[in-house]
Amino acid sequence: MADTTQTAGHGPGSGSHSGGDPSRRDFIYLAAAATGVVGAAVTVWPFIDSLNPAADTLALASTDVDLAPVQVGQSITVTWRGKPVFIRHRTPEEIKSATDVNVSELRDPQKDADRREEAGMAGGRRHLHPPGLHPAGAEEFRSPRRVRRLVLPLPWFGLRHIRPHPQGSRAA
How near is the Cβ of 16 to another protein at its closest, in Å?
7
How near is the Cβ of 151 to another protein at its closest, in Å?
32
Span of 11-19, 80-88, 94-102, 143-151 interacting with another protein by CB under 8 A: 11-19
Among 41, 51, 68, 136, binds another protein (CB under 8 A): 51
Residue pair 119/159 in contact (Cβ under 8 Å)? The answer is yes
In the window 58-87, what residues touch another protein (CB under 8 A)? 59-60, 64
SS3 89: strand
Nearest to 67 by CA among 130, 126, 114: 126
Is 123 a binding residue for another protein by CB under 8 A? The answer is no
The Cα–Cα gap between 166 and 61 comes to 18
Is 41 a binding residue for another protein by CB under 8 A? The answer is no
Distance of CA 128 to the CA centre of its chain: 19
When the beta carbons of 47 and 100 are compared against another protein, the nearer one is 47
Residue pair 88/126 in contact (Cβ under 8 Å)? The answer is yes
Instruction: Classify residue 11 as left (phi > 0), alpha (psi -120 to 50) or beta.
Output: beta
Residue pair 145/97 in contact (Cβ under 8 Å)? The answer is no
User: 117 pairs with which residues across the strands?
Assistant: none
DSSP-assigned letter for residue 54: P
Span of 55-63, 82-90, 117-125, 148-156 interacting with another protein by CB under 8 A: 55-63
144 to 163: interface string for another protein, x by CB under 8 A: --------------------
Span of 1-9, 91-99, 123-131, 133-141 interacting with another protein by CB under 8 A: 1-9
In the complex, the residues that contact another protein under the rule CB under 8 A are 1-8, 10, 14-16, 18-20, 24-25, 28-29, 31-32, 35-36, 39, 46-47, 49-52, 54-57, 59-60, 64
